[in-house]
Amino acid sequence: MDMSKQPVTPLTTRIGRRLALGAIIGPILLTVAWLVLGLIVPATRTEYGVEGGIIGTITSPISGIGVGPNDSLFNAAFIVSGLFTIIGVLGAFQILDGKSKRVARWINAALLALSPLGFIVAGIFTLAKSVPLHMIGFLLVTGTPVITFVTAGLFFRGIAGWHRFGNWLLIGSPLTLLLTISFFLTFNQAAIVAGQGIAGIPSRLLGIELGTYYVMLGWLALQRSR
């Protein structure tokens, strides 16, 4: 018997299934937050650029909503979304008991939790409070998946029933890198403050792309645990 593996139990599965829902709820919550607080609300000019409305959605990155007229609500959504997603990751990996080695499983769980941890950091340290710490949060969100999606992808490829998801994660690594590069290429602080440019588009595409992978993780964990 491989002592590095743990047998899955009905209790483990039940707990894991409930926790794995967080990987679905978290990204959806954040998407709804920027749609409602960053698109549907009227456009408002701030010292960080135009926030809200179609113009704000196009010109200003998602983080800009955290210093706009609905800053408290959006930063709370940042933090809660990150917490839910981290819980969801832990739940999904808990369901994998008995199917993978314990150390590899929890190393990959910790690595995939880095990106949603970045949302928490960005929600606490907004652009108005600390630009350097906010940038650390941004790099956790967008930079770590370039590496962690590769390691997790290889990990999942070795688990029965998860092979295809592993392949999608391997594709997600260069895709995330490409979207991150496109964000930096379109990012111009002067243009954003003036309400110009398209920096908001790659920012939101990044959020949707990354969120999709975590929703897939939570959904597959629920399906595979039946």
Mean pLDDT of the chain: 91
Q: What is the pTM assigned to this prediction?
A: 0.91
Helices (H), 96-193: 102-112, 114-124, 131-142, 144-157, 163-186, 189-193
3 state SS of 49: strand
Contacts (Cβ under 8 Å, ≥6 apart) of 64:
38, 46, 48, 49, 51, 56, 127, 192, 200
For the segment 127-141, what is each residue's pLDDT rounded down to a tens digit?
A: 999 999 999 999 999
Q: What pLDDT score was predicted for residue 2?
A: 47
Domain-located, residue 33: yes
- At position 215, the amino acid (one-letter code) is V
Residue with tokens 């600390």: 130
| Two tokens, residue 69 | 């007229």
Domain that holds residue 79: 10-224
For the chain, the domain total comes to 1
CA–CA distance, 223 with 226 (Å, rounded to integer): 6
Domain-located, residue 82: yes
For the segment 6-61, what is each residue's pLDDT rounded down to a tens digit?
A: 555 666 678 888 899 999 999 999 999 999 999 899 999 998 999 999 999 999 99
- Helix (H) / strand (E) element for 57: namely helix 53-59
3 state SS of 39: helix
Q: What pLDDT score was predicted for residue 1?
A: 41
For the segment 149-206, what is each residue's pLDDT rounded down to a tens digit?
A: 999 999 999 998 899 999 999 999 999 999 999 999 999 999 999 999 999 999 999 9
Domain-located, residue 131: yes
Q: What pLDDT score was predicted for residue 11?
A: 63
Domain-located, residue 2: no
CA–CA distance, 93 with 3 (Å, rounded to integer): 18
3 state SS of 61: coil
Percent of the chain at pLDDT exceeding 70: 92
Give yes or no for a contact between 63 and 127, defined as CB atoms under 8 angstroms apart: yes
Domain-located, residue 171: yes
